[in-house]
Amino acid sequence: MNIPVFADDDSADGDIHAPCWRMAVWFFLLSRFLLLVSLPYSALTAYGDHWNFYAQAALRGWPYLHSWTEFPPLFPFLAKALYLLAGGREHTFSYLLALILTLAQAVSVVLFAWLVRRYRSERAAERLTWGFLMLALALPYGWWYFDPLAVLFLLWGLWAVEDSRPWQAGLALGLGGLTKLFPLLALPAVWKTRPRGVAVRVSLAALGLVFLVYGGLYALSPRMTAASLQAQAAKGSWETIWALLDGNLGTGNLSLQADHRDPSTAALPHGNPAKLSPWGLLALFGGLGFLLLWRTHPKGSPSLAALTGFTWGGFLLWSPGYSPQWVLYLLPLILLTLPERTAFLMSAVFLLLSILEWPVMLSRGWFQGLYALVPLRTALLALLTWAFYRRASGDTIEE
């Protein structure tokens, strides 16, 4: 069935800004609303991190100023504002957070629709937009964690680059960097696919915003800001090949002795120490990635998104840790760039592996299953990263 997303009786030319594509977004909002209000509260928050977000927001004062946090600053400040708005009531906090994340995903659907229209034919764009919408609607990661905010900023940044809005792109990627850091991985793709002047403006806006915010927080509260930065690097390894090598079969949670009010506990080690230096591996993976980027010659409209997928895939292969909800970053890049059938197949495989990992296995304590799942996911991730690279170079990938 051909569901019209971009054209209707009021817009026969299929203009992307026609009213009818909004029907997809309203469908998403209505469906998510019905889902959230019909779930019991225990099911709404069961496998997510709302308990941790609420506990940190409930601390006296503000994050980075009066307590440290393992997250970049944008979300902790948002969580604190939601806590105050909820009057300290945990269930109200959780529903407000789910509402914000739902709105973020709805905007992501819009941005995805605008991007895919640039890369695909009209019919393919319709199918892929509805496919992305259904995946976003079904995945509980969309309200269990705050990654949808970073995905929103990543897609906004890519769209702004494609629409020749470098300062806006830098603002979006900078906000993404203040949410999860991951959207900044799009910057190498900008440098490779755009003129130097455009890349400079995007990078200045993005990195300048990140350094300005962190610098301001450090000036106001150097101890808590420094502890927050330390905490982000103190998690050790989890759910990766490197974690299996280190003998770490846990998740990315912090040490049980960590006290967010005491900056001296921010750097407490979690799990066994690394057997291979992450910095040495970074030099290896970074050097190889730089060499491949240097040698590639981007061709075709999806090269920006494909190269972003390549840098993101390379980062995940290097990263000491991996969280199943990070599949939210892969899905739009897969659907934007790979051939349709390949894209849906890859998306389905990564989704199944992610759900199998969390919540199916790890919530039940089946950590030994990581010895089978992690190597499989790593091999598929390497294959996907290479597919992104080939797509950016204009190579045809067989369906």
Select from 310, 12, 51 the least CA-distant residue to 188.
310
Task: Name 107's Cβ contacts closer than 8 Å, sequence gap at least 6.
Answer: 152, 156
| pLDDT tens figures, 78-123 | 999 999 999 999 999 999 999 999 999 999 999 999 999 999 988 8
Q: What is the dihedral of CA 201, 318, 115, 142, to 10 degrees?
A: -120
Residue 355: the pLDDT is 95
More confident residue, 23 or 85: 85
| Residue 150, CA distances (Å) to 51, 122, 226, 346 in order | 20, 27, 22, 22
Q: What is the dihedral of CA 205, 333, 385, 296, to 10 degrees?
A: -60
Percent of the chain residues past pLDDT 90, beyond the cut: 78
Residue 396: the pLDDT is 55
Query: In degrees rounded to 5, what are phi and psi of residue 232?
Result: -65, -25
Is residue 342 exposed (0-12), middle (13-18) or buried (19+ Cβ within 10 Å)?
middle
At 35, which helix (H) or strand (E)?
A: helix 22-38
Q: How far apart are CA 234 and CA 182, in angstroms?
A: 18
Q: How far apart are CA 252 and CA 240, in angstroms?
A: 11
| pLDDT tens figures, 155-186 | 999 999 999 999 999 999 999 999 999 999 99
